[in-house]
Amino acid sequence: MQSQQSSTLLDDAVLEFAKLPGIGKKTALRLVLHLLRQSEEDVEGFSNAILNLRQNILYCKVCHNISDTEICGICSDKSRDETTICVVETIKDVMAIENTQQYRGLYHVLGGIISPMNGIGPSDLEINSLIERVNAGVIKEVIFALSTTMEGDTTCFYLFRKLASSSVKMTILARGVAVGDELEYADEVTLGRSIVNRMPLEYQK
């Protein structure tokens, strides 16, 4: 699509929207024209919410999760189990696990994953602070909830070696056939592992 000669203001706004991932020029134009039809207060609200977020957001000093305060809501929640830490790559993973409502421990956000291809080494991640937390002695179990990819496994192995000297219990997420999957379409590695790690059938008697 060509530039709209009628307004540079419009062009600028469309270009800014089109920088967002997954938003092309046509969608950007549609969104901008939508905002143009809204009241000035609404557009101010939109604009300010984004600017406020970027300028005022903090990262929890303990777990490096996104937070409005120095210590995030999860770390400062006394009802949670502070002896268990779930190690994740990004804040999105924290949200995903929180949404399951199956976990009541704390988190540790690495901020990425060891990936030599992308130039990300252990020193770029929040690994030292994890070791410090574990060495403080309160933590009994560390759950590695990392991607089941080569990079995830590498990171997992690296952390395992780093924490091996401590007496902490280390676990990883169960691998197996996803709920709702048809066996026919499950990949061989997953299916193979789910046979090796088969579980006792348990029904309420």
68 lies in the binding site for its own copies (CB under 8 A): yes
82 lies in the binding site for its own copies (CB under 8 A): no
Q: How far apart are alpha carbons 93 and 100 in whole angstroms?
A: 11
- Least separation in angstroms between CB 146 and its own copies: 18
Q: How many residues bind its own copies (CB under 8 A)?
A: 59
62 lies in the binding site for its own copies (CB under 8 A): no
Q: How far apart are alpha carbons 32 and 38 in whole angstroms?
A: 10
- Least separation in angstroms between CB 5 and its own copies: 5
94 lies in the binding site for its own copies (CB under 8 A): yes
Contact 147, 89 (CB under 8 A): yes
Q: How far apart are alpha carbons 199 and 54 in whole angstroms?
A: 46
**Residue 177, Cβ neighbours under 10 Å: how many?**
16
- Least separation in angstroms between CB 104 and its own copies: 13
Cα angle vertex 113, ends 112, 119, to 5°? 95
120 lies in the binding site for its own copies (CB under 8 A): no
159 lies in the binding site for its own copies (CB under 8 A): no
Burial of 134 by CB count in 10 Å (0-12 exposed, 13-18 middle, 19+ buried)? buried
Contact 106, 82 (CB under 8 A): yes
81 lies in the binding site for its own copies (CB under 8 A): no
Nearer to its own copies, 16 or 82 (CB): 16
Beta bridge partners of residue 67, listed in sequence order = 58
Residues found near its own copies in the complex (CB under 8 A): 1-2, 4-10, 12-13, 15-17, 19-23, 27, 29-36, 38, 40, 43-57, 60, 65-68, 72-74, 91-92, 94-95, 98-99
